[in-house]
Amino acid sequence: MRRTLLRVVTMALAAALATTARAADGEFTFKVARRDVAADPDGIWKAGAFSAGKASLYEYELSTPGGDLLVSQIWNGACTAATCPTRLVRIEPDGHFALLIDDMMRQVIPPDDPRFSGLPINGPQAAFAQHPFRLSADGATLINGDFRFSIRGRTR
Contact 51, 116 (CB under 8 A): no
Give Dmax (Cα) for the chain: 60
pLDDT digit string, tens, across residues 55-76? 999 999 999 888 899 999 999 9
pLDDT tens column, 85-133:
999 999 998 989 999 999 999 999 888 888 777 777 777 777 888 889 9
d(CA 75, CA 147): 18
Prediction pTM value: 0.78
Sorted by where each begins, the domain ranges of the chain are: 2-150
pLDDT higher than 60, residue 2 = no
Q: In whole angstroms, what is the distance from residue 149 CA to residue 69 CA?
A: 15
